[in-house]
A and B are shown apart, each in its own frame.
Chain A
Amino acid sequence: MNEMRVLIVDDSSVMRKIVERSLRQAGLNPITVFEAGSGVEGLEVLSDQPVHLILSDINMPSMDGLEFLRQIRARNLAQGVPVVMITTESSEEHVKQAILAGAQGYIRKPFTAEQVKERVLPLVSAVVGG
């Protein structure tokens, strides 16, 4: 597989590391990870760095994950890049909002590395062709 460039957006640095570890356990190697602590920081990363995959929390201060997604689309950033939401919010309404905002995947916390593999690999193999 080609090198994956992944943006992980979560206000918890611990959770960003756990998500990164889960991606590696899922077999995504080699990967370069860009971290952002909010949607605002995520947009800054995307304006400078091309990525193949975005994983984002929803509940975050300053700009939540859904607004982050809307802003990505509104600013034509990361076109064609799959976005997966990783969040404690799993109601149908949140999933519906995520779809409307442009998410392709949804992982509920708590999660296992196996779940990350199941939900993420089909999306990235389409992008990288690995």
Chain B
Amino acid sequence: MPKRLDNTVKMRWAHVPRLMALLWKVGRRELTVVAALALLSGLTPIAQIAALARFIDSAVPLMKGSAPVVSALPWLALLVVTHLFGHLVLRLSIWIQDNAQEALKARLQERLLEKAARLPLASFETPAYYNLLQQAQKALDEHLLTLLGSLMEVAPSTISVLGLLVYAAAGSPWFPLLLMLGTVPAVILRVRLMRTMFLVEREQLPAERSLSYIEDLLVSRPAAAEIKLFALQSHLMGKRLQLYDSLAETRITLESDRVKQGLRADFFQYLSFGAVLIGVLSRLAHGSITIGQCAGNISAILEFQRSLVTLFWRIAVVDNDTRYIADLFAYLDLDEISVAPKTMDGEAAASKAVKPVPEIRFENVSMRYPGSETDVLTEINLTIRAGERIALVGENGAGKTTLCKLILGLYEPTSGRILVDGEASTGVSALRGRGAAIFQEFMRYEVTVRENIGFGEVTALDDGARIRAAAARSGVAATIDGMPEAYNTILGKSFDENGRDLSGGEWQKLAVARAYFREAAVLVLDEPTSALDAKAEVVIYRQFEEISAGKSVLLVSHRLGCTKLADRIVVLEQGRIVEQGTYSELLAQGDVFARMYAMQAQWYV
């Protein structure tokens, strides 16, 4: 199971350089512009303060009547220009940042999707990996933008803090020293506070998850019926309140700690502020600095304090968000499908594929899902002759679906070989593209009818005649012709209010048409009727002969009566083949299959 790397503050921050490197890779231009603007906006406070000092100095003689108003105007102009500039830089960086953040997010999302396509399909069946995928998506959706925003602010705040120290040094070398002296304890206190908060938050996590579980139960629609029936309202509300109160108490304590520590940190800062102020004012009284310089110095210390607080706040946000970014990286680091070695070039592959329906042979094939400790399939030896129709039977979890996915080339066996026409298939590629399937959870694509069928062979999406032929074969053509826009009708109401809703049976026929549309060598029917009622089920099994013509077929069903349609029945139990034979052979044998069959058949005889 992928380990979450958020154990310590230090390890979390280790993700920041990596994130920066990744961002640099996906958006060099944006980052450069943002960085340049950050530098400018970090420096503007100093320019503004310097201009203020000069302006005030130029204005003092006015009061004494020793100079005309005009003499101060150039400095006023400078003051106004620096502020104008400051505002423009700020606006500009907000503008560029908003654009850049969105663009960067989109590009990271693209990476996430590309990554998903490169993960072994089996990963999706492993809860740990699947959760990681969802967490990575959550990190991207909820935390990336605030993280980027804060990261982009850290630089200008730092520049401004440092710049102001340098500016203060022009007044006296003691000033920055005094300011630093007040800052260091403040930094220590705040860092300590951040660590406590992290630890408390981590402690709270289980209670928080329990709380949100109960709240989700209260809001969820499927739970509503049971909550009403069993009158669970007050029980769940009580439980919720108990959790909420304990969490709220901790949150309030934490908040008061934060205030206390903040005030303590402030105390040191104000102490140094007072000391510098005394220095500035005595120098003014001494006459060693002008009024303008004095005002400039005071503004500089105030601005310094402000930037420092901003900086800390930004860092706290980054600190919080990096926790989630860890998930993003853990996801991007997952193992990918090993690229199948190219044993033959395209030409040769094409000639090999000439045989329309191959023989598929499993030799000691075992399969284990990543992160799992037990095999789903153990040492399977099975030959499916060209055009043979096999029914797979067994309990839930016996490995039927896994076997189907191996034949479709969707999984690679953990050990053993799968031979296609006697050739060892070296990767999933040899079988991929040659299979079609109707799964238990077949898809209902909320796009056009044409696409719903054409997705079976996406390269032939524009071949209208072929799509119509497939629709006719699956018996859905009449329904489609009755729609106002026929094959261009949008299905489902999620994206188009005028979209057309279909019944379960109609959706199913589209799925069948999709399977027809692909000229497949192998067809898998994995409990294709479990979403259907009895009537629709009968219809689909009656079509079986036609559906399976000229293909090797693998049929998975719990309706054992239907298995008589197959040439051979294979019974799986806990990942092993325990029986195989024809329908009548197995019934005569009176073993596993016969027992199951009798159990079901008694309802009907």
Do A and B interact? no
